[in-house]
Structure 1
Amino acid sequence: MFFEKSEDAIRQPACVAPMLRFVLIAIAIFFILNVIAISQLLRIHPRRRRLVIAIAAICNLMWLFFPLLNARTDFSRAVRAVLGPPWFAWLCFILIYCAYLLLVFITRLPRRPASRIFLWGTLVALVLGVYTALVPLDVERVPVILDGLPQSLSGTKIALIADLHVGLFTRPSRLRQIFTTAASLSPDVVVLAGDMMDDDPYFTTKLLAGTRSLPSSIPLIAVLGNHEMYGAPREVIDRLRGSRIRLLVNEGLPLRGFWIAGLSDYAAQAQELQPDFNAALASQSGFPIVISHQPKAFPEAQQRRLPLTLCAHSHGGQFGLRRLGWSLAGVFLPYHMGLYRRGVSQLYVNTGTGYWLLPWRLGLPSEITLIELRSRPSP
């Protein structure tokens, strides 16, 4: 997607040349969409001309600071935290609004009343989405029946947390709530499936402070996500080594009869940080469970006939209907939400416990998954 590709270009110097053309083309497209959307809004709301122009200008300010986003200074962090959400919200709005205008043009609907209905509907969706992102916290209880799971391991519970994206505006109280809720489920282990921080290792301190709500008797395991790779992955690794969080980077960990195989992330630029199943499964001495941030790991897990892979990454597009199994991310990704079974292998995709950039989730509240492992009954 555009946003991840543009971050790659900014954060990885080796990618600048091939990505520059992509970013310039994308900027040109969004410029045209801005012109179309603003022109139409001015036509519908001629008395609010200054307000429309001011909102558009503020929301587009982020473009001016793109070269500074990787500076890792207090100023760059503030720019990202303050200007990022309105920029992203505006981009989403003009994409949807221009698509709507095209639909009105094709269907010949009266433009003015239809536009007012659309704009009011957008405002309601914005308010509901912000509330859903910041307040509710859902616990999804997912029983997973596994072939070959020893009866002695049946009943094991894994609390899966993912995509916290801890940043400048992340509330410490929210982190405490998340880890307190996870602890209340009495899991045998808590797993952080990547994207713990919003790019910058600076926020590991805030993350670790939040984990204090989790009793030390409950193991806390994590893997890296693409946003750790966009920042300074080696610094993240150094900061987490020896901390409350047991970080697995292409490593395995024996745990209560299981072998927890933690993969690195597919966004890694350094060869030694690329995902490596062989390394993660070396010296395997228990029932294997694969932890990967991205569901991209699942095809290889299938080939290896590994029973269970736990992932995240998709956020469900932060827009969907969980009970219907539909999410915006499903338009782009084959594995975007919930439990999948392919042969003897199963995959669970968590839709995120936090949010990325814009505090907005519609229809998909923040999720903590309680995976309850069960042995398949003998025939």
Structure 2
Amino acid sequence: MSLPYFCEPDIVDEDLRMVREQLRRYVDEVIVPNGDAWEASGEIPRHVFRDLGAMGFLGMRHPEAYGGGGMGALSSVVLGEELSRSTYGGVASALTVHSDMSLSHIAHRGTHEQKQRYLPAACAGEKVGVICVTEAHAGSDVAGLKTRAERTDSGWVINGSKMFITNAVFGDIYIVAARTDPHAKGSKGLSLFIVERGNPGLKIARKLDKHGWRSSDTAELYLEDLHVPHDALLGEEGKGFYYIMSTFQNERLVIGALSSGTASRAIELTVEYVKQRQAFGKSLWDQQVVRNKLAWMASKTAAVRSLTYQCAQMIDEGRDIVREVSMLKCFAAETLQEVVHTCLQLHGGTGYMIGTPVERMARDARILTIGGGATEVMLEEVAKRM
């Protein structure tokens, strides 16, 4: 099985082809029919996490010893592509933040006890993961974080706030970045902590009303005298910035997959529409300018997809991909803007109506040039390595 217009890369083995087929079936049978209701409620039901967890799709990259699949980066690409084909970006973001951007910190850096305590439930979709890095004045500039953690006899006390946090309201396992060395500057002195749902110091300040990704819950958090034990520290003290940067590489890979999956589906829906839509005595597809625009969008999307799979393969080979994945993140997200807005234009007034898939995809796509490292920051990362 392949995405429209594109062959399945040879590096995708039979196991991943089966994953893609099962994911696509679930998207078509469960997510698409219910997506509008989830958009209206601003959340997706917990059973979606449990369903995909039971199918083995929320822990594909995590160790088998703790309930995961022990698979490589290509599994994240397949997951991102297929979830994004639903046309509900909020669903795709909530699930991939859980599978690839939050609990992966525990999978890579946790102690045996931490992995044993959190990963099986996370892989099963029984517990939902949250990554808490961004603050109101520190997004792409992670070194500017102001949340602080102070050591006490019984553990740590964390104070600060976090902004634009996906899964914040209904999450269970929060990975919180805080500054543990008040004298360190910039990227030094940051650490990560595991905070569990129900901690009295973790407060939902407000649920945020967003332009897109309507079906993912997003909130601002307050951390007020939040007490955690010593063993809540994740990895080594002071290494948090490097852990975050490492996980960002995977987040940017997933954004490449979300972009290629969304763009591919937008093109597919638009080709169907313009072949049916009659204007000036013939279908829009019969207009050369329309065909050429769609062919150009398909060509750019194919390039995004190829770079996405190349980056995944490089990750699995253990290579440094900061340059390549930074290229991918900005190229994929910016290409997606062009694709979805071209597709909306070709839908005419219909494309501007709320409830039309292409209208929703255009809204949802906008965040991808911002989240995970803004385009401008990604281009600087590329320039540094030229």
What TM-score, normalized by structure 2, do the two folds share? 0.25
Compare relative contact order (CA 8 Å, sep 6+) and give the higher one, 1 or 2: 1
Q: Which has the higher helix share?
A: 2
Pair member with larger Rg: 1
